[in-house]
Copies of this chain bind each other. A is one copy, B any other.
Amino acid sequence: MSKNSSRPVGRHFLQIPGPTALPDRVLRAMDTPIIDHRGPDFAKLAKRCLDGIKTIFKTTNPVIIYTATGTGAWEAALVNTLSPGDRVLMVETGQFATLWKVMAEKLGLRPEFIKTDWRIGADPAVIEDHLRKDTNKEIKAVCVLHNETSTGCLSPIPEIRKAIDAAGHPALLFVDTISSLASTDYRHDEWGVDVTVGGAQKGLMLPPGMSFNAISDKALAASKSSRLPKSFWSWEDMLTMNKVGFFPYTPATQMLQGLSVSIDMLHEEGLDNVFARHDRLAEATRRAVKAWGLETICRDPKYYSPTLTATLLPEGHNADAFRALALETFNISYGSSFGAFAGRYFRIGHLGDINDAMLLGALSATEMTLALAGVPHKKGGVQAAMDYLVSAHSSAAKQAAE
């Protein structure tokens, strides 16, 4: 865009790791006259959403739908199950894990925080070790982020479940899937998670303003004796009213209109296809980063995130200035950096309703901004991404033909 223009031209490339670009179909579904939230049409809409969201979390238990962003659903997980002074085990995978831990403190819990260098996910062995030391079984819950949005590291939830079991520990397992749900495989029931926290604005392709608690029977049982005060977040009234298709207080009708459509869209594509697409685009992005000679924050391939890639700039190059230049020149937004790495990396989101050509447009803008910003790098990132994608599509076509 020229300097003397007041209009950013064309479509914005929203490459933050959520909120993700809203599909037109979702936006239009929400652009509809509001309906009576106590009437028969609403009851049908609510049922579609309450049933449908279970298929996304892969649970047969109820999922609570909150009119609040993901932070609210974090709070809900804690206040519904725990009591003042309870010990909880958390893993400092990055900024969002830290925020959840600060929240736990504010709510009167006693979090224990396993440190990392912010460049890996949660290590099941370390969790197991920590729990084994809690011989009195005082730790009430283990809280981990499936995908740490601030760094792009994915943690192995099934293995963490096994670690807890191996330690013979009764702690509840709480998992934040805000930036992974509906983008990579997740199985609330099969993986033995007690409360899964989810949000609308990432893989679900909705605006922010809705979040979720998927709950196990064990979590539900814990809620009966929990003594943290709760009213807005209380599961109890929700579960009662949801049974007949309503909510205890005015729900976000338009968000439900959107949710109903986004669930349809995910199933039309097929969840496995959704996950494969995210894997493919993530790998293409990492190949571009590698070809540029840059480093990802995630330093261990086993934790690579399918939804975002945090990319370090070389020493002496400010990532915020880089982001500002990209926004001004190419109408693209990236995620910012946090903590000890503040100003040193930018995050490329590649999740939600995104396809190959959209990603390559974004990677092209990135490669060109590296050049314009004078960041030392090698050309060929986009080429590497294209080469990978050609091979991936070629294999897929062969498989389909067989």
A binding-site residues for B, Cβ under 8 Å: 1-7, 9-14, 16, 18-22, 24, 27-28, 30-40, 66-72, 74-75, 79, 84, 99, 102-103, 106-108, 199, 201, 207-209, 228-232, 234, 248-255, 265, 268-270, 273, 276-277, 327, 329-333, 335-336, 353-362, 364-365, 367-368, 371-372, 379-380, 382-383, 386-387, 389-390, 393-394, 396-397, 400
Contact = CB atoms under 8 A, between A and B. Distances in A.
A400 B372 CA distance: 14
7 contacts: A2-B276, A11-B355, A12-B33, A330-B356, A330-B357, A361-B361, A368-B390
Given A6-B268, A34-B207, A364-B386, 9 more contacts: A9-B353, A14-B33, A24-B32, A67-B68, A67-B208, A69-B252, A106-B230, A201-B250, A207-B253
A165 B357 CA distance: 49
A339 to B, nearest CB: 15
Nearest to A10: B355
Contact of A265 (B7, B255, B354, B397): B7
Contacts of A6: 268-269
Contacts of A103: 231-232
Contacts of A34: 14, 19-22, 201, 207
Given A5-B273, A28-B31, A356-B330, A252 B208 contact: yes
Given A252-B209, A354-B9, A364-B360, A30 B33 contact: no
A185 B380 CA distance: 35
A269 B2 CA distance: 8
B229 A106 contact: yes
A364 B367 contact: no
Contacts of A229: 79, 84, 106-108, 228-229
Contacts of A24: 32-33
Given A5-B270, A67-B208, A368 B393 contact: yes
Given A106-B230, A372-B393, A380-B383, A7 B357 contact: no
A14 B14 CA distance: 19
B231 A393 contact: no
B4 A270 contact: yes
Contact of A209 (B20, B254, B332, B358): B254
Contacts of A20: 34
Contacts of A276: 2
Nearest to A20: B34
A228 to B, nearest CB: 7
A127 to B, nearest CB: 24
B389 A368 contact: yes
Number of copies of this protein chain within its complex = 4
Given A277-B9, A355-B1, A32 B38 contact: no
Given A7-B269, A106-B231, A382 B355 contact: no
Contacts of A356: 329-330, 364-365, 368
Given A107-B231, A357-B331, A372-B394, A69 B39 contact: no
Nearest to A2: B273
Contacts of A207: 34, 252-255
Contacts of A371: 390, 394
A107 B253 CA distance: 27
A223 to B, nearest CB: 13
Contacts of A382: 360, 364, 382-383, 386
B208 A13 contact: no
A360 B231 CA distance: 40
B270 A2 contact: yes
B368 A3 contact: no
